[in-house]
């Protein structure tokens, strides 16, 4: 079946530090990959997505590249801000009308 | 834009009580979903409705029932609540057009505690 594995958090960084949150997946075929972000007290919001190998999704300074050879979709940002503090979820869609989520990684950015 | 609206936001139940979580979306989406979120486990799909008139089990359906009342509304019912159902419940919807992988739109969640 499909599965998504994320690095466990929390990840604590100082403002302007470089961020990487690792995500690897297991799936047959060619899934689409997503990063969602959840701010405190809210539902998840789509952050970025990539639908085929070597695609790079980007939004709000975040980037992730779909690497089929390593089955990875790591999230990166060059300079984090306090407002980026949230929980980040990696997810994949691979037919069947269902999205499979990773366990989530909490990011805390200190001023 | 309201998007996906869930009610209630918070609920406390005693073991054995029943309740229905309500969800409505105003985006004319075909598909709707119920997830539960537990610490360290991400989101797990309980039930989904691919289109009006259909419902299917997800990963963790036991103890729950759903009703797709119309295209806008998708409710989740706990007939006899158990402490293991203490969780945050999220409703989501998305448009499905052919093979296009459109993103999910989430409500703000219902925090349920079963004592």
One pLDDT digit (tens) per residue for chain B, 115 residues: 679 999 999 999 999 999 999 999 999 999 999 999 997 778 899 999 988 999 999 989 999 999 998 999 999 999 999 999 999 999 999 987 665 667 889 999 999 999 9
Residue of B nearest to A49 (CA): B103
Position A101 pLDDT exceeds 80: yes
Residue-wise pLDDT tens digits, A27-84: 988 899 999 999 988 889 999 999 999 999 999 999 999 999 999 999 999 999 999 9
Contact A101 B109 (CB under 8 A): no
Task: Please report the pLDDT score of residue B96 as a whole number.
Answer: 75
Contact A43 B92 (CB under 8 A): yes
Report angle CA B52, B48, B20 to the nearest 5 degrees: 90
Task: Please report the pLDDT score of residue A96 as a whole number.
Answer: 66
Q: How far apart are CA A19 and CA A94, in angstroms?
A: 27
Contact A103 B41 (CB under 8 A): yes
- CB neighbours of B108 closer than 8 A, spacing ≥ 6? A41, A42, A43, B6, B9
Three-class DSSP category at A38: strand
Task: Please report the pLDDT score of residue B99 as a whole number.
Answer: 56
Residue whose tokens read 């959840």: A38
Contact B104 A44 (CB under 8 A): yes
Q: Which residues of B touch A34 (CB under 8 A)?
A: 103
Residue of B nearest to A94 (CA): B101
Q: How many CB atoms lie within 10 A of CB A18?
A: 10
Which of these, A1, A60, A6, lies nearest to A31 by C-alpha position? Answer: A1
Task: Please report the pLDDT score of residue B42 as a whole number.
Answer: 82
């Amino acid at each position: 079946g499909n599965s998504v594995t994320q690095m466990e958090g929390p990840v604590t960084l100082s403002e302007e530090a470089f961020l990487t949150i690792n995500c690897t997946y297991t799936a047959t075929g060619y899934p689409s990959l997503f990063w969602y972000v959840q701010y405190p007290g809210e539902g998840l919001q789509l952050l970025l997505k990539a639908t085929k190998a070597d695609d790079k999704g980007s939004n709000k300074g975040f980037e992730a590249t779909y690497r089929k050879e390593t089955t990875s979709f790591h999230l990166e940002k060059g300079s984090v801000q306090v407002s980026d503090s949230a929980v980040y979820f990696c997810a994949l869609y691979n037919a069947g009308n269902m999205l499979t989520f990773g366990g989530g990684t909490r990011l805390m950015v200190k001023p | 834009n309201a998007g996906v609206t869930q009610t209630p936001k918070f609920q406390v139940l005693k073991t054995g009580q029943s309740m229905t979580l309500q969800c409505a979306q105003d985006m004319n989406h075909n598909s709707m979903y119920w997830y539960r979120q537990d610490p360290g486990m991400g989101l797990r799909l309980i039930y989904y409705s691919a289109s009006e008139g259909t419902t299917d089990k997800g990963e963790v359906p036991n103890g729950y029932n759903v009703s797709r009342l119309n295209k806008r509304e998708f409710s989740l019912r706990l007939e006899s609540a158990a402490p293991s159902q203490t969780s945050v419940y999220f409703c989501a919807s998305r448009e499905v057009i052919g093979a296009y992988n459109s993103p999910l739109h989430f409500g703000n969640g219902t925090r349920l505690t079963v004592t």
